[in-house]
A and B are shown apart, each in its own frame.
Chain A
Amino acid sequence: EVQLVESGGGLVQPGGSLRLSCVASGFTFNNYWMTWVRQAPGKGLEWVANIKEDGSEKYYVDSVKGRFTISRDNAKKSLYLQMSSLRAEDTAVYYCVRLRSGYGDSLDYWGQGTLVTVSS
């Protein structure tokens, strides 16, 4: 069974930093691109970043470029999102998601999410 378990969310002040983690199980982690998607309170879904199987390619939504860094450790089957210079508008539930290439490049498995709150 595919499982994605996020951790690391919490309350952080504006301008602060936070590192989200996601541990994967039930599939061969290093065979898949991985993605972070977020949902602000009362809002829709927003794609945040993608990372290739070997970490050699990374893509970001413009609003987080230069502030967020996606990374992975295939030996630990883990995905990360390092967030810095956090703003109130980054407040959201952050989902770790598996990207299935070649099938509409669909987001086929999602974690339960971890809540990040940016507030003073």
Chain B
Amino acid sequence: DIQMTQSPSSLSASIGDRVTITCRTSQGVRSFLNWYQLKPGKAPKLLIYAVSTLQSGVPSRFSGSGSGTDFTLTISSLQPEDFATYYCQQSSNIPYTFGQGTNLETK
């Protein structure tokens, strides 16, 4: 199985901050790396697919980058609605696996 190491596990930030979350995979996943946002009581939301492509309707302050085994999700200027938990996920191999999650909290 491909192991996903996501960091940090939690992060305190303020409105307007630039935030970066990293995801490292135990082996190469080509372009099969996606990012999701979870909020309590709401359906999870796809943010970024295929490493760097913004899902339709997702604000442009979100971006993804990386290659091989190292990937990042960046929020360029944090907004109040961005406080949530974020997960990376690989679809290169079965079983699909997720990172442990990053809980983004207000400072």
Contact = CB atoms under 8 A, between A and B. Distances in A.
Contacts, number: 68
Contact of B55 (A44, A61, A95, A108): A108
Interface in B7-41: 31-34, 36, 38
Chain B's interface size range is 20 to 34
Interface residues of A, number: 24
B27 to A, nearest CB: 16
Interface string A82-117: 000000000000010000100111111111110000
- Classify the interface of chain B: helix, strand, loop or mixed: loop
21 contacts: A44-B99, A45-B38, A45-B87, A45-B98, A47-B89, A47-B95, A47-B96, A50-B94, A50-B96, A62-B95, A100-B49, A104-B31, A104-B49, A105-B32, A106-B46, A106-B55, A106-B91, A107-B89, A108-B49, A112-B42, A112-B43
Interface of B: 31-34, 36, 38, 42-46, 49-51, 53, 55, 87, 89, 91, 94-101
Given A47-B97, A107-B44, 19 more contacts: A44-B99, A45-B38, A45-B44, A45-B89, A46-B98, A50-B94, A50-B96, A61-B95, A62-B95, A95-B43, A104-B33, A104-B34, A104-B50, A104-B91, A105-B32, A105-B91, A110-B44, A111-B43, A112-B43
